[in-house]
């Protein structure tokens, strides 16, 4: 477990609803779907699990560059993110997130493709489980991972948000 003194957070509006963004001094560590008043409990629980001796502190200014990049993404003027991340997960989860982060804007890959790329061809379900634990959806674009048959399956924010993001990126035509 990492030690941090503060986890900074802010809220932003987006076309898929409010997002709550949290960051350590190292980088973005969490994005939750929903406004602070709805996500505060889960953020507090998550923070206590992963970071000892921390305090949540609202700080819109510190997170302004992240909010700006997310707004650019939703406006269609940004296809990659240039923000520091502070991801907490198992070695396997971090490997999966690193691979998922390589999927280009407007493209998709199947869980099976990700499993093959990381050298774990039988770990398709574990890939899905790791995606489900992705702490920074959108920035680490787990919405770009689809079923082997091209179908949309699973997304922490709901399939409606996944579909919206893929449609916005122009990848929806590739999905049956």
What is the rounded CA–CA span in Å between residue 90 and residue 126?
12
What is the rounded CA–CA span in Å between residue 15 and residue 71?
9
**Is 142 a catalytic site residue?**
yes
29, 40, 94, 142: which is the annotated catalytic residue? Answer: 142
Contacts of 112 (CB under 8 A, 6+ apart): 121, 124, 148
Task: Tell me if 14 sits within 8 A of 70, measured CB to CB.
Answer: yes
Mind telling me the catalytic residues? Answer: 142
């Amino acid at each position: 477990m990492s030690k941090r003194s503060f986890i900074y957070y802010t809220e932003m509006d987006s076309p898929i609803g409010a997002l709550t963004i949290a960051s350590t001094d190292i980088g973005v560590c969490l994005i939750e779907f929903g406004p602070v008043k709805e996500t505060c409990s889960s953020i507090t629980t998550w923070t206590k699990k992963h970071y000892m001796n921390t305090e949540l502190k609202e700080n819109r200014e510190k997170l302004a560059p992240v909010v700006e990049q997310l707004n650019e993404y939703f406006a269609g003027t940004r296809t990659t993110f240039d923000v520091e991340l502070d991801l907490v997960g198992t070695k396997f989860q971090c490997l999966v997130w690193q691979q998922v982060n390589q999927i280009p804007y407007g493209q998709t890959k199947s869980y099976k493709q990700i499993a093959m790329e990381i050298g774990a061809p039988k770990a398709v379900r574990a890939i899905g489980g790791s995606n489900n634990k992705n702490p920074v959806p959108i920035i680490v674009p787990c919405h770009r991972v689809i079923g082997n048959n091209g179908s949309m399956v699973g997304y922490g924010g709901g399939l409606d948000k996944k579909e919206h993001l893929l449609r916005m990126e122009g990848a929806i035509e590739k999905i049956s």
